[in-house]
Amino acid sequence: MHTTIAITPDRLHLGVVDQKLWARAKQKTTRSSKERERMMLDEKESYRWLEAYRNCGELAKECPNTQFVYITDREGDIFELFYEKEKVNVDYLIRSKHNRTVYPQDEKSNKLFQAIENSKKLGEISFEIIKREDGTKRRVHQTIQAGTFEIKSRYGADIPHQKTKINVVYLKEFNTPEGEEPIIWRLLTSLPISTQEDVETIIRYYLCRWEIEVFFKTFKSGCKVEEKSLRSADRLYPLFNLFLIIAWRVNFLLHMSRITPDVSCAYYFEESEWKAGYMAATRNKVPLTSPPTLSEMMGYIAKLGGHIGKKKDLPPGIKVIWIGICKLHNYADAWDLFGPGAKTK
């Protein structure tokens, strides 16, 4: 499954905008690495990155006043995608994987990684990241370097012997905590890199890529999609689509409560949900007469999910929100069946 989701710079999930599902062949191919390199892109699984980029371009045509930035990890480092920028009105921001040859060549820096290390320093930046292993945060301090380089397609490419220019941002961590590996990013982009402010915007955009990890954590661990035993694609695909909607809604509610905390939760929850959720979380036997704010409601849901809410605690994450929403549905059903407004025979 290859999924593209739309996210605002504030990390609000807008939904799934592209989806590709396929099944790998049971028998592995016996091609050598050189033979695989010479294959046309549309014969490889990596072609899905270019397909998704083109589909984002079609979406951008429907929203001419919106800037689109296509963000991927190292798998998206494909020359054809950079070259496609001339046809697709979508900027790209991709973490570099290949140490490409740059042009014009010189004796000191004919490779991209060396060339970017010799480029001008723009300044420094500091931000927090979340560790994938345990969800803890740590502060990262990096130097900023940036430059523009010309690269050329390799043999076997769909567009051989073509050149295109790319902007590169090089971020290298300094004062790395003891026991930690320094974080080094080489980001390839079509966005401007003239000033430190430009580069800080690029970094802020790239940090949004973490949300695809959170989205799939909700999809896999929350919906437990890998445990489903439906045996045919005809049954699995509709189930996947339903779970994608659920995963989107959980993440959407969490971030919406942070962006617009004071809006009424009645825009997003049924009366039975906010009344039953409040009583279950607070153990108050007197129901609310008016809906709480979205931030308050998500606090009740987090408490149902096991979030204690001490002053030193981090804000509730996606796991406790998922557990809380599952419990909330049960309480809301009970409210509809047995609450003050329930119909009796």
Chain segment 144-170, per-residue pLDDT in tens:
999 999 998 765 555 666 889 999 999
> How high is the pLDDT of residue 106?
63
Interval 168-177 mean pLDDT: 91
Q: Could you tell me which residue, 228 or 269, shows the higher pLDDT?
A: 269
What pLDDT sits at residue 168? 95
Q: Which residues contact 311 (CB under 8 A, 6 or more apart)?
A: none
Q: What tokens were used for 236?
A: 């699995």
Confidence of residue 304 (pLDDT cuts 50, 70, 90): very high
Which tokens in the block code for residue 115? Answer: 């060339």
pLDDT of 74 reads: 93
Model pTM score: 0.86
Q: Where are the beta strands (DSSP E) in 64-213?
A: 69-72, 91-95, 102-103, 121-130, 137-152, 163-173, 184-189
Residue 40 in tokens:
């046309």
DSSP state of 308: -
**In which residue ranges of the chain is CATH 3.90.350.10 found?**
31-208
Flag whether pLDDT at 287 surpasses 80: yes
Cα–Cα dist 142/123, whole Å: 9
Contact 187, 169 (CB under 8 A): yes
Which amino acid does the sequence have at 136? T
Structural tokens at position 209:
């890529």
If one compares 274 and 157, the residue with the highest pLDDT of the two is: 274
Give the whole-number percent of the chain exceeding pLDDT 70. 89
Number of neighbours of residue 230 by Cβ within 10 angstroms: 12
Looking at residue 108, its pLDDT comes to 67
Closest CA to 139 of 119, 124, 151: 124
Tens digits of residue pLDDT in 236-252: 889 999 999 999 999 99
Is 219-338 CATH 3.30.420.240?
Answer: no
CA distances to 106, 218, 318 from 324, in Å:
59, 13, 10
Assign 233 a pLDDT band (cuts: 50, 70, 90). confident
Task: Express each pLDDT in 252-261 by its tens digit.
Answer: 999 999 999 9
The yes-or-no verdict on residue 344 having pLDDT over 60 is no
Q: What is the pLDDT of residue 228?
A: 84
Segments of 198-340 assigned E as strands: none
**CA gap 255, 273 in Å, rounded:** 19
**Which pLDDT score is estimated for 296?**
96
What is the β-pairing status of strands 91-95 and 184-189? antiparallel
Rounded to whole angstroms, how far apart are CA atoms 214 and 148? 32
Per-residue pLDDT at 183 exceeds 70: yes
- Picking from 178, 185, 93, the residue whose alpha carbon sits closest to that of residue 138 is 178
Q: What percent of the chain has pLDDT over 90?
A: 57
Q: Would you give the end-to-end CA distance of the chain in angstroms?
A: 48
- pLDDT for 262-271, tens place per residue? 999 999 999 9
Q: How many CB atoms lie within 10 A of CB 18?
A: 18
pLDDT in tens, 189-219: 999 998 889 999 999 999 899 899 999 999 9
How far apart are the C-alpha atoms of 309 and 316, rounded to whole Å? Answer: 8
CATH number belonging to domain 31-208: 3.90.350.10
Q: What tens digit of pLDDT does each residue of 41-83 get?
A: 777 888 899 999 999 999 999 999 999 999 999 999 999 999 9
CATH 1.10.740.10 segments of the chain:
219-338
Torsional class of 295: left (φ above 0), alpha (ψ -120 to 50), beta (otherwise): alpha
In the chain, the amino acid numbered 105 is: Q
- Do residues 199 and 122 make contact, with C-beta atoms less than 8 angstroms apart? yes
| Consecutive H or E run containing 13 | strand 13-20
More confident residue, 286 or 106: 286
